[in-house]
Amino acid sequence: MTTIRTAALIGLGAIGAAYAERLQKHLKHDFFILADEGRITRYKELGIRVNGRDSRFRYKPLTSPAESAGLIVFGVKNDQLDEAIDCVRPFVGPETILLPLLNGISSEEELKAAFPDNPVLYAMCVGIDAQRDGRDIRYSKLGQITFGTRAGEYPEAEAAVEQLFRDADVPYDIPDDIWREMWWKFMINVGVNQTSSVLRAPYGIFQTIHSARSWMEEVMNEVVQVSRPAGVGLNDRDIARFRPVLDSLSPEGKTSMLQDIEHGRKTEVEYLAGKMVELGGKYGVPVPENEQLLKVIRILEKM
């Protein structure tokens, strides 16, 4: 079995940093953060703390001599993926495994197109409530990384990542049908991320106010309806499966899209509601909630 001896992360956001701390503790000098020189200077000057612990990450500038990594984890946003792909090329060797943790259902295909000879695993984060405020990253639940392959494409790569996560104490799950799980997570993001950004609501609002949760689930149901002609076949039980996950999160926790709105950053609405409008048109399924969310969140981005 292939053993991952070196790993890198590009995209040191809240979620990326939370998992990076575990990987660095295990791999030590053989784990590094890929970033441009300007970001590295800011990271070093600011210092990154995870749950109050100073995390002295090893940084590698994109202009440094190439050193291929056994695993590269993508923690960037969707609109940063093209740039990230160009940045990591010198660090991708013939056996480098690529693991994207992006929201949505398209990043894996983009990576496959960019690196057709490398194993690309389908992956997502579930149940993590990490938030970033300046240098401080905090979470009450680390959640887990759910990953796998479609049609058993890369069994050795899957086994290698599983062994690394087990050794590094990174919570993980390998489902029987990773594509269906990706759509389930897409349903979650479409529902809670978008409604939370419009309501400016932390998780506690959806835990305690029935009408907020009901609206979130109406938005999720549009994903269920679209998933059927798409051949995925989500159902009402998939919506119900998210309820205990939501209730386990910190009431003060916030979705990444709400954090983006609060900090004046561009959101991922084009990859959520935008994708839903595209799929609704393709399959002839009405998605009125997502059509409205797309309009409203685009306005919020400009305010």
User: Average pLDDT of the chain?
Assistant: 94
- What is d(CA 303, CA 196) in angstroms, rounded to the nearest whole number? 17
Q: Does residue 201 carry a pLDDT above 70?
A: yes
Run of H or E including 172:
strand 172-173
Least confident of 129-133, 138-142, 170-174, 217-221: 129-133
Is the pLDDT at 206 greater than 80, yes or no? yes
DSSP state letters, 206-218: HHH-HHHHHHHHH
Mean pLDDT for 136-158 is 91
Q: What pLDDT score does 188 carry?
A: 96
Other beta carbons within 10 Å of 118: 18
Q: Is the pLDDT of residue 200 over 90?
A: yes
Q: Where are the alpha helices (DSSP H) in 79-235?
A: 81-88, 107-114, 155-168, 178-188, 194-199, 203-208, 210-227
Could you say which architecture CATH assigns to the domain 179-302?
Orthogonal Bundle (1.10)
Whether residue 168 is predicted with pLDDT greater than 90 in this model: the reply is yes
Q: How confident is the model at residue 64 (pLDDT cuts 50, 70, 90)?
A: confident
Within this chain, domains 7-174 and 179-302 share the same CATH topology = no
pLDDT value at residue 1: 62
- pLDDT score at 220: 99
The domain limits of the chain are 7-174, 179-302
Kindly state the average pLDDT of the residues 133-142: 86
- The class of domain 7-174 in CATH terms is alpha beta
Q: What is the pLDDT of residue 93?
A: 93
The predicted pLDDT at position 102 comes to 94
